[in-house]
């Protein structure tokens, strides 16, 4: 052993220059990924939590067997509106237009011959995976649609001709085999690809393999082991990937627009695999994603933190994310009267329309109207942001989250109070932005019927206080019959408290609040509720630390990187009728 250590020292000192040059080569991949990467970084597994959804497998199987039903007048009208569009140049419009038009035309049996002729003369317009300056990718956006065409119509020769089917399998669907591609193409294996690209690419690979293994093609006999996803290892990889996504949450949570593309891949994995393991996991992830939306939205409007893209940081509309369009579809007919319909982007609900998945009964019920007061905390693990909501049938307080650095790509939002007033622009809602630019915010100061932050509360122009004294103001909107909105506003401090004590007059309420919170100095660090409970907070808490410090003298767990996945007084059986 001593001889080995001696030889190691001699080698190090003799070749110290070479060692010095080699060290950066080992560090370079991590550095490149830190600068350019947008894929999931490994984190320790989260605890699911007692408030996490629970599924009875027999009930889940019943809902998984639903048939695609797109024969209603509403759906026909929508599909025909897309089917009526022209098939444009593939190289220019093969990502976001023409594949969907093909899908719609076939779904309603329109221009079938033209669609087949169009598909037969196509070649892949690029490679799959992320696009960057050294590689043109994004073809997996097209593949995920072509995969749906394959499985919806591949056995219907009156819709997909045999020559077209062969061209799909041999030319247009480029992924096959058992080796998933985890890294960005041509990045030397240094940059992990993003979640939506993983799901689109590998779901298409998995389902093409399954088709060839079961049915073969004109040149490939059925039953070849290289296309058996259990033998080639792809199913095991995909099961592990979906497990991590379910337990730790989707990495591109609430993303505009990337969550939509992840959902499209998950809809395919929910509908078409023979593997119950794959279908069940995809279904549970879809349920979890949509359950979060139901909890974090009001009248199909929301203002939640999200990961990717920075250009949406200052958006003011509360209805433009594609997930809202999907949820409005799944929650018909009640959602049809929700505000913001004219602003909602419906361009991608075609995938959901042509999929058997729908949201569980509890998710639909809570998306439309919350049955009771609730408080929920949703964790995402290390170097992320939690989602925190306090809500009821009349209001939703949504924490805006926290920026965690360039690599994390998290965009915090203002802490927002949504009322049942139908407002779809954040400037017409009570909210607290946070001090400075959005990348300085830690907008996690939300508790039950309470929010606090290190910037003043924005007062919507349509609301005026019914009483005001000093920095306190009381509001009583017509849409809030069961509570008062109490605001404390200073230049670098804002507080929102919802009081449901309607037995007090506004004058009495304000007098009670001031009597319990007489010190201007203490209000910046603590607040006493009408029932005597005291909440303490630090509005300038650093990233990674919950703004709330204690409630009624009991310290809270402020390290939200370690929070459970689900915590709160919410239903856990999503399929309860």
Question: pLDDT digit string (tens) for 60-95?
Answer: 776 655 554 545 666 778 888 899 999 999 999 999
Q: Is the pLDDT of residue 16 over 50?
A: no
Structure confidence at residue 22 (pLDDT) = 42
Between 275 and 18, whose confidence is greater? 275
What angle is formed at CA 189 by the lines to CA 185 and CA 191, rounded to 5 degrees? Answer: 80
Q: Residue 570: which residues within 8 A CB-CB, separation 6 or more?
A: 51, 295, 374, 376
First vs last C-alpha separation in the chain: 69
Q: Is the pLDDT of residue 110 over 90?
A: yes
In angstroms, the CA 488 to CA 468 distance is 10
Q: Which two tokens stand for residue 558?
A: 């402020």
Q: Which of 113, 177, 107, 111 is nearest to 149 (CA)?
A: 107
Structure confidence at residue 297 (pLDDT) = 97
Q: Is the pLDDT of residue 23 over 50?
A: no
Q: Is the pLDDT of residue 58 over 80?
A: no
Structure confidence at residue 457 (pLDDT) = 98
User: Where do we find the tokens 């969550």?
Assistant: 259
Q: Which of 447, 481, 418 is nearest to 552 (CA)?
A: 447
CB 424 within 8 A of CB 442: no
Q: Residue 73: which residues within 8 A CB-CB, separation 6 or more?
A: none
Structure confidence at residue 94 (pLDDT) = 92
Span 374-427, pLDDT tens digits: 999 999 999 999 999 999 999 999 999 999 999 899 999 999 999 999 999 999
Span 556-577, pLDDT tens digits: 999 999 999 999 999 999 998 7
């Amino acid at each position: 052993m001593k001889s080995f250590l001696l030889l190691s020292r001699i080698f190090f000192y003799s070749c110290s220059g070479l060692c010095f040059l080699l060290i950066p080569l080992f560090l370079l991949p991590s550095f490149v990924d830190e600068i350019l990467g947008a894929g999931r970084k490994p984190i320790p597994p989260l605890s699911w939590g007692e408030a996490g959804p629970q599924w009875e497998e027999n009930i889940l199987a019943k809902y998984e067997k639903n048939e695609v039903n797109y024969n209603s007048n509403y759906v026909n009208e929508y599909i025909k509106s897309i089917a009526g569009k022209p098939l444009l140049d593939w190289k220019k419009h093969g990502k976001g237009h023409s594949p969907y038009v093909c899908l719609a035309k076939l779904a309603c049996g329109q221009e079938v011959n033209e669609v087949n002729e169009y598909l037969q003369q196509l070649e892949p317009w690029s490679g799959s995976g992320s696009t960057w300056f050294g590689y043109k990718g994004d073809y997996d956006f097209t593949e995920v649609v072509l995969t749906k065409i394959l499985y919806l119509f591949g056995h219907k020769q009156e819709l997909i001709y045999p020559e077209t089917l062969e061209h799909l399998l041999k030319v247009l669907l480029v992924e096959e085999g058992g080796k998933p591609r985890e890294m960005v193409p041509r990045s030397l294996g240094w940059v992990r690809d993003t979640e939506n690209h993983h799901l689109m690419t590998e779901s298409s690979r998995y389902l093409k393999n399954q088709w060839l293994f079961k049915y073969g093609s004109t040149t490939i006999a059925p039953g070849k082991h290289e296309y058996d996803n259990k033998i080639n290892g792809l199913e095991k990889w995909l099961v592990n990937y979906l497990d991590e996504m379910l337990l730790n949450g989707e990495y591109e949570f609430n993303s505009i627009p990337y969550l939509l593309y992840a959902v499209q891949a998950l809809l395919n994995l929910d509908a078409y695999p023979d593997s119950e393991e794959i279908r069940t996991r995809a279904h549970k992830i879809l349920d979890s994603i949509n359950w979060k939306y139901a909890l974090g939205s009001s009248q199909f409007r929301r203002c939640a933190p999200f990961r990717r893209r920075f250009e949406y940081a200052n958006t003011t509309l509360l209805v433009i994310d594609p997930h809202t369009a999907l949820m409005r579809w799944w929650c018909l007919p009640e959602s049809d009267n929700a505000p913001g319909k004219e602003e909602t982007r419906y361009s991608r609900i075609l995938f959901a329309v042509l999929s058997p998945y729908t949201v569980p009964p509890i998710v639909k019920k809570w998306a439309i109207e919350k049955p009771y007061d609730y408080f929920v905390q949703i964790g995402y693990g290390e170097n992320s942001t939690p989602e925190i909501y306090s809500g009821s049938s009349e209001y939703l307080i949504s924490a805006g989250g926290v920026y965690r650095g360039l690599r994390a790509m998290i965009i915090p939002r203002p802490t927002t109070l949504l009322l049942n007033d139908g407002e779809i622009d954040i400037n017409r809602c009570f909210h607290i932005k946070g001090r400075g630019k959005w990348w300085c915010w830690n907008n996690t100061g939300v508790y039950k019927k309470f929010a606090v932050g290190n910037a003043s509360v924005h007062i919507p122009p349509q609301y005026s206080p019914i009483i005001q004294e000093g920095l306190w103001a009381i509001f009583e909107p017509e849409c809030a019959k069961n509570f008062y909105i109490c605001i404390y506003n200073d230049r670098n401090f804002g507080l929102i408290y919802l009081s449901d004590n309607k037995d007090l007059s506004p004058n009495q309420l304000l007098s009670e609040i001031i009597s319990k919170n007489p010190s201007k100095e203490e209000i910046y660090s603590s607040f006493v509720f009408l029932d005597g409970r005291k909440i303490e907070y630090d509005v300038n808490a650093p990233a990674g630390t919950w703004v709330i410090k204690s409630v009624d003298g009991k310290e809270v767990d402020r390290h939200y990187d370690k929070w459970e996945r689900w915590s709160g007084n919410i239903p856990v059986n999503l399929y309860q009728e």
